[in-house]
Amino acid sequence: MWSKRIRVKQTRAKPIAACRPPSGKITLFPSRRPALKFLAFDTATEWCSAALWMDGVCTSREVHAGQKHSDLLVPMLMELLAESGLTLHQLDGLVYGMGPGSFTGLRIASGVAQGLALAADLPVLGISTLETLAEEAGADQVLACLDARMHEVYAALYQHESQLESDTWHCLAGPLVCPPDAVPLPEGDGYVGVGSGFAAYPNLAKLHLSRVDASLIPHARAMARLAAPRLQRGEGESAEKAEPLYIRNKVALKICER
C-alpha cells in the first residue's frame, strides 16, 4: 500500500575525502566516522523519514505521511532492521528529530525513541531538525527555515566548519520562532535557504541568498551523519530523557487571532 510511495536509498562511504559530502551522500573519514549501528528517524514535518547507519553505510527511506506518522514510523524502522539482518538489541543507539516542528510529530518521534530504547536498553540522542536541514543543504552557510503555521516560521542560521579533527555546525542565530519578516538575516554572501518556510512564505526568497530549496526536509540520513560522531563521543542519554524541543508553547491561534 504505502510502500509504493517510499523512496529507498543506500549510500556507501568512500575511504577518503577532502571535503564535506554533498546532500544525500555518506563519506567515511576513518578517524571520525565510527563503527556504529543505529537507527535515526524524523516525523517533524509532513514527511516521515528513517535511516539505518551501519558502520558508515546509511540506508534511508522517506514517505509523505500526512498525518499517518504513528502508523508508518515503526514499520519503516523494523523493515530497515530486517533488511540488514539486525535486531533492535544489536544497535548502539537511537536517534530522533527532537524539533522544532509539528507538535504531534515531535511527540511521536520522542515517544517511539523512548519506547524502543527502554525495550532494548539503548541510549537515545535528539538532533535539531533545523541543524539537520543545514546538513542536508550541501552548503557551508545555511538559513534553515520550517513553516511553523500561525503566520510564523522556525528559523536558524548555520555556518559549517570542516577541519582535520572537527566537522561542526555553528548556530549563529536561533533557533527561534518568529514572523517571516523577523527571520535572522545572513551577513555576507553565499548563504543558502532551505526548508518549507520558503514555500509557505515566498517573500523569504527575496533575502540575500545564493539559492533557495524549499523542498528539502530534515531527513533522517542527514540526522544520522550528524549523530554518528556524537554517539561515538558518548553523548547518548538514557531513554527517559527523550523529549521534544518545542520552542513555541502555543499549538493554535485563538479565533480572535486568525
pLDDT of residue 163: 67
> What's the gap between Cα 192 and its chain centre?
17
pLDDT of residue 3: 38
pLDDT of residue 121: 97
d(CA 127, CA 198): 22
Confidence of residue 187 (pLDDT cuts 50, 70, 90): confident
Sheet strand arrangement including 211-213? 166-178, 153-163, 141-147, 192-194, 211-213
Model confidence pLDDT, tens digit, residues 147-179: 999 999 999 999 998 865 567 999 999 999 999
Q: Which of 45, 6, 21 is nearest to 194 (CA)?
A: 45
What is the arithmetic mean of pLDDT over 88-116? 97
pTM, two decimal places:
0.84
pLDDT of residue 167: 75
Instruction: Look up the domain containing 11 and give its range.
Output: 2-257
Q: Which of 226, 169, 188 is nearest to 53 (CA)?
A: 226
Q: What residue spans of the chain are helical by DSSP H?
A: 69-84, 103-120, 129-136, 197-200, 220-232
pLDDT of residue 253: 38
Report the number of distinct structural domains present in the chain: 1
Question: For residue 93, what is the domain's CATH number?
Answer: 3.30.420.40
* Position with higher pLDDT, 12 vs 104: 104
Roughly what angle, to the nearest 10 degrees, separates helices 129-136 and 220-232? 110
pLDDT > 90: percent of the chain: 75
Mean residue pLDDT of the chain comes to: 86
For every residue of 37-93, DSSP letters joined together read EEEEEE-SSSEEEEEEEETTEEEEEEEE-TT-HHHHHHHHHHHHHHHHT--GGG-SE
* Amino acid identity, position 85: G
What is the arithmetic mean of pLDDT over 10-30? 38
What is the arithmetic mean of pLDDT over 50-72? 96
d(CA 194, CA 132): 11
Contact 247, 99 (CB under 8 A): yes
pLDDT of residue 164: 58
d(CA 27, CA 17): 7
5 pLDDT higher than 90: no
d(CA 80, CA 61): 9
Confidence of residue 22 (pLDDT cuts 50, 70, 90): very low
For every residue of 246-257, DSSP letters joined together read -S----S--GGG
Confidence of residue 208 (pLDDT cuts 50, 70, 90): confident
d(CA 191, CA 207): 10
> Terminal CA-to-CA distance of the chain, rounded, Å?
37
26 pLDDT higher than 60: no
Beta bridge partners of 83: none
pLDDT of residue 4: 36
Beta bridge partners of 169: 160
